[in-house]
Amino acid sequence: MRVLVVEDHVETAEYVTSSLQAQGHLVDHCSNGREGFLSALDNQYDVMIFDRMLPGLDGLTLVKSVRGAGVETPILILSAMDGIDDRVQGLEAGSDDYLVKPFSFQELSARLAALTRRPPLRVEETVLQVADLEMNLIRRTVMRRGVALDLQPREFSLLEYLMRNAGRVLTRTMLLESVWDFHFDPKTNVVETHISRLRNKIDKPFDTDLIHTIRGAGYSLHG
Amino acid sequence: MARAAGISGFLRSTSARLSLRFAVLYAVITALVLGLTYHFADRELRQWVADQLAQDAAGFADLYQGEGLDAVQAKLAGFAGFNFEDYRIYLLVDAEGQVLAGNVDAIDLSGDSGYIPVDAIHAQTPRYKDVTGYLLHSVQLGQHRLTLGSSTYYQEELREVLGRGFLAGFVLMLMTGLLAGVIVGHRTERRLTQISAALKAVSDGQLDRRVPTTGGDTNDLARMADDINRTIAQLERMVDSQKQISADIAHDLRTPMQRLRQRLDALQAAPDLPDPIRSAVDEALEIADDLIETFHALLRIAQIEAGARADRFADAALALVLERVEDAYGAVAEENRQLLTVKMTDHEALVRGDQQLLTQMISNLVENALRHCPAQTRIKLSLSRLDGRVLLQVSDNGPGIPEGEREKVLRRFYRLEKSRTTPGNGLGLSMVKAIADLHGATLRFDDNHPGLRVLILFPLAGRKTS
């Protein structure tokens, strides 16, 4: 995919750019807001990464300008760790996700993948299907190989999120934010506990596993 | 209620007591001045009356010498014709004490002249009621004796006028003193209220607050306000520079931490790493992440303490937050063979706040209990009303916190001796305290007999109307 990185910090820009390129993506890099704005308008990107603090035009203004110009490409904002309000402000400005520095590339990569996926959710879409696992969103039922599975409400929303992002890596932080709306790092294994319970229900009774642990990154659901 | 408190508050205030004292002092001085005035005026008046009597007596003596007794009697008869409120009395007696002329029947004379009370005067007609006595002057006319008297009417009048004056003056002085006291006291009180409001705001973290000053005012309170403002400004500068230092450190450390993490990340991604090195890299990454997390928490606490997010406050339903926390940690508790329960007697209570921060605060407390309590511990979350406020409690029957340590656990990085071996950065409760403070809630640690009971008392914002 084609990615625009607007980041003035040389080392971070280098790290993000080279890591993305190593994954086979096409990367354009701009080191200030004005250049970033022009690039965003001139080219078709799949996703854009803006630093919150930029010389010339700061990240939030850049997001607003780009959105104002009618560009709807998903935007992820990188923010310094002392910006407690940045997430809300970023989302209000029109960005789609937010990541605090320093971050691991796996986290960034997983979030970018989730952003670019974005299948337009059809209104009539009431059934999610991954391999032999089927989820009915209206009746709120889950079946695997025709066997009905009894899930707790939170297990259901966790599985729904995994199924909607099937084949993608979902980090612990992404799960906490999306499933529990937790925007802090819990000191206990909340995610692990719930994943393990979910596994007991959808994987354990069957011979093939659907939930996979991605070492050092997170989880992924696929057949 | 508030008004009564205001008045009694005013009476207790220093300025009010001072103005009362001054009012009393003024009144005493007024009384003294008026008393002296009366004394001197009275003496002058007596002298004047006595002189007049002596003059009249001398006139009669001359008349007797020149024209004889008949002329004296004729003149006295003429005088007796009018009686101005018994102002004057006359009595002429012969050597045997027979009354020859006069407007009274007899006078019990104790001496030849001087003052006698009205009772000593005997007459057919009753004396005028305001007259209490007479000043007398007697003169010998041959064998006869003439006594002239002048009533104390003028002295009475003088006393009455001065008395009224004194009373009016006293009341006026007292009223003026009190009024001045109330006005001055009110102004002083207002200034003092402004000063304490400013100081309270400052102690609540609003270091940009100042005592309002009116230009040109140079009284002691204005000077004090200036001094206080200078002190706050100094404090603000110090805190700012402290914050600047923290921000500088954060900024300076951010880059190397980021680099450290990026290098380790890149190293971990290398395909053909020998196993011992790979596990060492994994461990180093974990440590780096802990470091970053601690740093992150510190900066977050500092920002919350500085009032970040307060302008984004909305009505938050604590019941919802509690349900969400139970939902996330109930399973974790079960895995630990602990029990997490929620008991809510008030589902509708709303508080002004930030739902995410409130979630983090309650999560931190629950995680604390989960991590520091053994298996079989019961952890209870409860929400209720107390005196029009919202009471949130997190209690457990675990080991608890010794009484002397309960304040200390709120300090950054402070950890109980027994929990040093469990993972954690010692910032969880500092975060809880910062979030509670931001929401104007009071945080208390109590003994749960056994275990720990954390009480957080929120101001009530309203009630859910659904």
pLDDT tens for each residue of chain B, 466 residues long: 344 445 565 556 666 677 777 777 877 887 788 788 888 888 888 888 888 888 888 888 888 888 888 888 888 877 766 666 667 788 888 888 788 877 777 777 655 567 777 777 777 666 666 677 888 888 888 888 888 888 877 777 877 887 887 788 778 877 877 787 778 778 778 888 888 888 888 887 778 888 887 766 667 778 888 888 898 888 888 887 876 776 677 667 877 888 888 888 888 878 888 989 989 998 998 888 888 888 888 778 877 877 777 778 889 899 999 999 999 999 999 999 999 999 998 888 889 999 989 999 999 999 999 988 999 999 999 999 888 899 999 999 988 888 887 777 777 777 776 665 666 667 888 889 989 989 989 998 988 888 999 999 998 877 766 5
Q: B186 and B45 share a domain? A: yes
Q: Which residues contact residue B243 at a Cβ distance below 8 angstroms, ignoring those fewer than 6 apart?
A: B302, B306
The CATH superfamily of A2-117 is Response regulator (3.40.50.2300)
What is the pLDDT at residue B154?
Answer: 75
Among B170, B203, B236, the domain-final residue is B203
Inter-chain touch A12–B360, beta carbons under 8 Å = no
Prior bond of A102 cis (ω within 30°): yes
Q: Kindly provide the ipTM of the predicted complex, given to two decimals.
A: 0.86
Inter-chain touch B303–A82, beta carbons under 8 Å = yes
Q: Which residues contact residue B167 at a Cβ distance below 8 angstroms, ignoring those fewer than 6 apart?
A: none
Calculate the alpha carbon distances from B359 to A50, A181, B191, B340 in Å. Answer: 29, 9, 41, 16
Residue B342 β-bridge partners: B381
Q: B194 and B263 share a domain? A: no
Question: Looking up tokens 């629950």, which residue turns up?
Answer: B366
Which residue from B130, B129, B121 is spatially nearest to B103, judged by alpha carbons? B121
Q: Examine residue B140 and state whether it is found in any structural domain, yes or no.
A: yes
Q: What stretch of H or E contains B380?
A: strand B378-386
What is the pLDDT at residue B30?
Answer: 78
Q: B303 to chain A: nearest residue by CA? A: A84
Does the pLDDT of residue A20 top 50, yes or no?
yes
Domains in chain A: boundaries = 2-117, 127-221
Q: State the DSSP code for B142.
A: T
Among B288, B305, B322, the domain-final residue is B305
Assess B256–A contact: CB distance below 8 Å, yes or no: no
CB A51 within 8 A of CB A6: yes
Tokens standing for residue B172: 């006026």
Inter-chain touch A102–B254, beta carbons under 8 Å = yes
Nearest to A15 among B257, B262, B356 (CB): B262
Closest approach of B461 to chain A, Cα-based (Å): 23
Closest approach of A163 to chain B, Cα-based (Å): 20
Q: B285 and B316 share a domain? A: no
Q: Which residues contact residue A194 at a Cβ distance below 8 angstroms, ignoring those fewer than 6 apart?
A: A154, A155, A158, A179, B328, B331
CB A17 within 8 A of CB A108: no
Helix ranges (DSSP H) in chain A: 10-22, 33-42, 59-68, 86-93, 105-117, 153-164, 172-175, 190-202
Among B203, B235, B263, the domain-final residue is B203
Most A CBs within 10 A among B296, B325, B370, hence the mutation to make, goes to: B296
The helix/strand/coil state of B423 is coil
What is the pLDDT at residue A96?
Answer: 92
Q: Examine residue B208 and state whether it is found in any structural domain, yes or no.
A: no
Distance CA A2, CA A79 (A): 22
- For the four alpha carbons of B162, B165, B169 and B175, in that order, the dihedral sign comes to positive
What is the pLDDT at residue A130?
Answer: 92
Q: B282 to chain A: nearest residue by CA? A: A216
Assess A182–B contact: CB distance below 8 Å, yes or no: yes
Distance CA A110, CA A125 (A): 24
What is the pLDDT at residue B212?
Answer: 83
- For the four alpha carbons of A94, A99, A100 and A101, in that order, the dihedral sign comes to negative
Write the CATH number of the domain with boundaries A127-221.
Answer: 1.10.10.10
Q: Examine residue B199 and state whether it is found in any structural domain, yes or no.
A: yes
Q: Examine residue B214 and state whether it is found in any structural domain, yes or no.
A: no
Residue B197 maps to which CATH number? 3.30.450.20
Inter-chain touch B331–A197, beta carbons under 8 Å = yes
Q: How many domains does chain B divide into?
A: 3
Q: B328 and B282 share a domain? A: no
Q: Count Cβ atoms below 10 Å from residue A151 Cβ, excluding itself.
A: 20
Domain that holds residue B284: 220-305
Q: Which of A3-7, A48-52, B376-380, B386-390 has the lowest mean pLDDT?
A: B386-390
Distance CA A28, CA A90 (A): 22
What is the pLDDT at residue B4?
Answer: 43
Inter-chain touch B250–A180, beta carbons under 8 Å = no
Distance CA A14, CA A50 (A): 14
Q: What is the rounded average pLDDT of the residues A23-45? A: 93
Q: B368 to chain A: nearest residue by CA? A: A187
CB B233 within 8 A of CB B246: no
Inter-chain touch B257–A197, beta carbons under 8 Å = no
Q: What is the rounded average pLDDT of the residues A18-44? A: 93
Prior bond of B450 cis (ω within 30°): yes
What is the pLDDT at residue B162?
Answer: 79
Closest approach of B14 to chain A, Cα-based (Å): 47
Which residue from A126, A125, A7 is spatially nearest to A77, judged by alpha carbons? A7
Assess A157–B contact: CB distance below 8 Å, yes or no: no
Q: B230 and B129 share a domain? A: no
Q: How many helices (H) and strands (E) does chain A have?
A: 8, 12
Can you spell out the DSSP letters for A146-196? TEEE---HHHHHHHHHHHHTTTS-EEHHHHIIIII---S--SS-HHHHHHH
Q: Which of A79-83, A204-208, B340-344 has the lowest mean pLDDT?
A: A79-83
Inter-chain touch B296–A197, beta carbons under 8 Å = no
What is the pLDDT at residue B1?
Answer: 39
Nearest to B359 among A101, A182, A189 (CB): A182
Q: B92 and B4 share a domain? A: yes
Inter-chain touch A84–B304, beta carbons under 8 Å = yes
Closest approach of A41 to chain B, Cα-based (Å): 30
Question: Looking up tokens 């997170």, which residue turns up?
Answer: A218
Inter-chain touch A216–B285, beta carbons under 8 Å = yes
Inter-chain touch B250–A9, beta carbons under 8 Å = no
What's CA B69's distance to the chain center, in Å?
84
Q: B70 and B171 share a domain? A: yes
Question: Looking up tokens 């700012």, which residue turns up?
Answer: B240
Q: Count Cβ atoms below 10 Å from residue B205 Cβ, excluding itself.
A: 15
What is the pLDDT at residue B5?
Answer: 46
Q: Examine residue B243 and state whether it is found in any structural domain, yes or no.
A: yes
Q: Which residues contact residue B133 at a Cβ distance below 8 angstroms, ignoring those fewer than 6 apart?
A: B115, B116, B117, B118, B151, B152
Q: B69 and B185 share a domain? A: yes
What is the pLDDT at residue B417?
Answer: 65
Q: B356 and B443 share a domain? A: yes
pLDDT tens for each residue of A120-146: 555 567 889 999 999 999 899 999 998
What is the pLDDT at residue B2?
Answer: 42
What is the pLDDT at residue A205?
Answer: 93
Inter-chain touch B303–A188, beta carbons under 8 Å = no
Distance CA A28, CA A49 (A): 10
Q: B62 and B12 share a domain? A: yes
Q: B288 and B181 share a domain? A: no
Q: B298 and B314 share a domain? A: no
Q: Examine residue B105 and state whether it is found in any structural domain, yes or no.
A: yes
Q: A177 to chain B: nearest residue by CA? A: B356
Assess A91–B contact: CB distance below 8 Å, yes or no: no
Mean pLDDT of the residues in chain A: 89
Inter-chain touch A188–B296, beta carbons under 8 Å = no
pTM, two decimals, is 0.65
- Please report residues of A whose CB lies closer than 8 A to that of B254: 80-81, 101-102
Residue B317 β-bridge partners: B350
Tokens standing for residue B243: 């914050």
Assess B275–A contact: CB distance below 8 Å, yes or no: no
Exposed (0-12), middle (13-18) or buried (19+): which is A123, by Cβ within 10 Å?
A: exposed
- Beta pairing, strands B88-93 & B133-141: unpaired
- Please report residues of B whose CB lies closer than 8 A to that of A12: 258, 262
Question: Looking up tokens 């720990």, which residue turns up?
Answer: B452
